[in-house]
Amino acid sequence: MTIAGDLRELACRLAVDAGTMAAEGRRADIESDGGRLAFGASTKSSATDVVTRHDRAAEAVILDGLIAARPDDAVIGEEGTNRAGTSGVSWYIDPIDGTSNFFYGLPMWSTSVAAVDAEGGLAGAVYIPATAELFSAARGEGATRNDVAIAASAETDISLALVATGFGYSADARRRQAGMVNMIAPHIRDIRRMGSAAIDLAYTAAGFLDAYWEEGLNMWDMAAGELIAREAGCRSGNFAGGAPTPAQLLVAGPGVYDAMVWLLSGAG
């Protein structure tokens, strides 16, 4: 097996372990008298940016697994992990991507684990506990959903494209993003809002969605899903067709990618 393949297996194992633990912990809390109060919820960047004790515990599970298996790698996590490394490999982890969904009991949340080197994404996994879907990829080795190969949408007509997006936590960001939706919506089939960037990316990789765009992400939101999408045959970039960044990310099937760039360039 290749190094990327080994890292893919590790990412898959840790994503499943952490996601399963978070799901079971949430279930136990709800069954207790405390309900959501037992989540130990607090906020981060705004009053709507929720974090729970399960986010922190799941990140700790992934971190411990990475230290045991790859002690020389760097690790950056949404909940504060910032561990330096010397190997040239960095891990980006999002223990619960879609914490608001998790908090409210909606099923669309995921655990995302990705390895990145100087050339970009190396391996990644996105696990959705509610549906037991595990998406993964390794550079140059394709992408899978529950070990079955996946491929990007073959749609070529932008007017028939089903597209997903997400919104930021600040009111100003949501106002701007809503304006983009208003400009794009008349030109496509419809828009979906899952609440987890990693799921949006994985579902675009599998062809369940034709395209996905979002701005204001972090590397831990996109690192695994963007690699999975590219390995499934999607194109990715920013809203002007340049290199993808957390600030602006567009992923789409190759048949509608250029049209989405055109739409986003005008909407932006």
CATH classification at residue 219: 3.40.190.80
Do 16 and 117 fall within a single domain?
yes
- Residue appearing with tokens 């010397």: 86
Residue ending a domain, choose from 149, 169, 199: 149
Burial of 260 per CB tally in 10 Å (0-12, 13-18, 19+): buried
Encoded amino acid at 45, one letter: S
Long-range Cβ pairs for the range 70-73 (8 Å, 24+): 70/10, 73/115
Do 143 and 162 fall within a single domain?
no
Do 141 and 251 fall within a single domain?
no
CA 214, 121, 90, 204 torsion: positive or negative? Answer: positive
Rounded distance, CA 76 to CA 220, Å? 8
Residue 81, domain CATH? 3.30.540.10
pLDDT of residue 266: 81
Residue ending a domain, choose from 149, 170, 185: 149
Do 22 and 139 fall within a single domain?
yes
Residue ending a domain, choose from 114, 149, 184: 149
Do 17 and 124 fall within a single domain?
yes
pLDDT of residue 52: 84
Do 162 and 185 fall within a single domain?
yes
Q: Which of 176, 175, 153 is nearest to 239 (CA)?
A: 176
Do 171 and 196 fall within a single domain?
yes
Do 8 and 120 fall within a single domain?
yes
Q: Which of 110, 86, 80 is nearest to 97 (CA)?
A: 110
Range of the domain at 93: 3-149
pLDDT of residue 31: 80
Domain total for the chain?
2
User: What is the separation of C-alpha 77 from the centre of its chain, rounded to a whole number of angstroms?
Assistant: 13
Do 186 and 215 fall within a single domain?
yes
* DSSP designation for 63: H
Do 181 and 255 fall within a single domain?
yes
Q: What pTM was estimated for this model as a whole?
A: 0.94
Dihedral, CA of residue 126, residue 130, residue 133 and residue 135, to nearest 10: -10
Rounded distance, CA 109 to CA 101, Å? 6
Encoded amino acid at 204, one letter: T
pLDDT of residue 50: 63
First-to-last C-alpha distance (Å) of the chain: 44
pLDDT of residue 48: 56
Ranges of the chain whose pLDDT falls below 70: 33-38, 41-50, 267-268
- Residue appearing with tokens 């208003």: 182
Do 139 and 18 fall within a single domain?
yes
Q: Are 165 and 213 in contact (CB under 8 A)?
A: yes
Do 21 and 108 fall within a single domain?
yes
- Alpha helix (H) residue ranges in 143-218: 171-184, 197-205
Both structure tokens of 193: 């809002």
Phi, psi at residue 110, to the nearest 5°? -150, 170
Both structure tokens of 179: 């304006």
